[in-house]
Amino acid sequence: MSDASRFPIFDPAGPYAGSITTLSWVLVTMGVAVLVVVVAALWVALFGSERLKAKIGGTKTIWIGGIGFPVVVLTLLLVYGLSLTRNLTAPVSADTMRVRITGEMWWWRVAYLDGQGRTYMLDANELHIPARRPVVLELESNDVIHSFWVPRLSGKLDMVPGRRNILPIQADAPGVYGGQCAEYCGGPHALMGFVVVAHDPATFEAMLAARRGARPQAPGQVEAGQGAALFRSTGCAACHRIAGTAANGAAGPDLTHVGSRRSLGAGILPNNRGTMMGWIGDSQSIKPGNRMRPRLATGLRLPGRT
């Protein structure tokens, strides 16, 4: 799931990514134009007539082409780039939705914040936002430098231990947008993906209310009961949290809503019965180097099978 096709960098789906895409095309166009001029000058130097060489090789041409032109062009590009991307650092209103994203080795901790900056809901590797509304991300890291990047919604921004960086994002329409850690952070860095799900605002508010008001229920099926027993007996709660239960581990991803996530292992596997079994049974074969204990549940079997 972490292939490059998930990241169409020249297909923005929000205003913040749109500004960066526009600037990128301008820079590409200017780069091509400069390349054409350089190649033309090189052709003249190698194959042009002596008369043509003398005409364009004078002191005036050198001053204009070698100093004046670069200074003017680079200055204009700087001013244009700053004016075009000023919305990336523009102040946001106090009631703007805020989410704290913390980079971990090699997954993402997601904390939804209220108006006072307090966490009211935790998730992992998946961010839900309302479409057509700006969302402010507070980016942090618990270990090494990571870089948060959802190409269709925003630029990328480093997550540096000991500091908090601010990144606004916005999706113009409901949809699922892929993200990736864009700074090498060791080990399975390439398998540190991310998913942003943009909902229609009314749907988002309903989903948020349902999740915040949900209470854990006793397993109603034999399979669910077996899963709960396995969770307790193998020590999963030492690292993972499930809201409303005694499981309150903080070292690993929050598992409260893991069943509704679109992916497992930080965006590398679709979330279904088979992949869940494989991940629990031997995650190291899927994502070598992750911090989940190897061969956690080698005796796990699908119900009805031997």
pLDDT 10s digit of each residue in the chain, 306 long? 444 456 788 899 999 999 999 999 999 999 999 899 889 888 988 888 888 887 777 788 888 888 898 899 899 989 988 888 787 777 777 789 999 999 999 999 999 999 899 999 999 999 999 999 999 999 999 999 999 999 999 989 999 999 999 999 999 999 999 999 999 999 999 999 999 999 999 999 999 888 876 665 655 565 667 777 778 777 888 899 888 888 888 888 999 888 889 999 999 999 998 998 889 888 998 999 898 877 555 555 544 443
* Domain ranges, residue 65: 15-88
| 153 and 79, same domain (yes or no) | no
Establish if 155 belongs to a structural domain. Answer: yes
- Give the whole-angstrom CA distance, residue 147 versus residue 181: 5
Q: How do beta strands 165-169 and 135-141 pair?
A: antiparallel
Q: Are residues 306 and 279 in the same domain?
A: yes
Is 163 found in the same domain as 281?
yes
- Residue 76 identity: L
- Assess contact for 137 and 102: CB atoms under 8 A: no
Question: 103 and 236 share a domain?
Answer: yes
Contact 15, 86 (CB under 8 A): no
Are 59 and 185 contained in the same domain? no
Same domain? For 34 and 148 the reply is: no
Q: CA 275 to CA 262: how far, in whole Å? A: 12
Contact 103, 140 (CB under 8 A): yes
- Alpha-carbon gap, residue 17 to 10, rounded angstroms: 9
Whether residue 110 sits in one domain with residue 81: no
**Same-domain check for residues 283 and 136:** yes
Domain limit, last residue, from 71, 88, 105: 88
CATH of the domain at 125: 2.60.40.420
What pLDDT, on the 0 to 100 scale, is given for residue 229? 79
Amino acid at 190: A
Within a domain: 123: yes
Residues 204, 155 share a domain: yes
Geometric angle at alpha carbon 222, from 241 and 299, rounded to 5°: 70
The answer to whether residue 187 sits within a structural domain is yes
Q: Where does a domain end: 26, 57, 88?
A: 88
Q: Is residue 10 domain-resident?
A: no
My answer on whether 208 and 235 are in the same domain is: yes
Q: Is 141 exposed, middle or buried (0-12, 13-18, 19+ CB in 10 A)?
A: buried
Number of domains the chain contains = 2
Q: What is the pLDDT of residue 214?
A: 62
In a domain, 68, yes or no: yes
Domain boundary among 88, 114, 143: 88
pLDDT of residue 218: 57
Instruction: Give a yes or no: residue 4 inside a domain.
Output: no
**Residue 204 sits in the same domain as residue 286:** yes
Helices then strands, each counted (H, E), the chain: 7, 12
User: Considering the domain boundaries, does residue 1 fall inside one?
Assistant: no
- Position 268 in a domain: yes
Give the predicted TM-score (pTM) of the model. 0.82
Please tell me the distance from the alpha carbon of residue 198 to that of residue 213, in angstroms, as a whole number: 21
61 Cβ contact list (under 8 Å, min separation 6): none
Please indicate, yes or no, whether residues 142 and 41 belong to a single structural domain of this protein: no
pLDDT of residue 3: 44
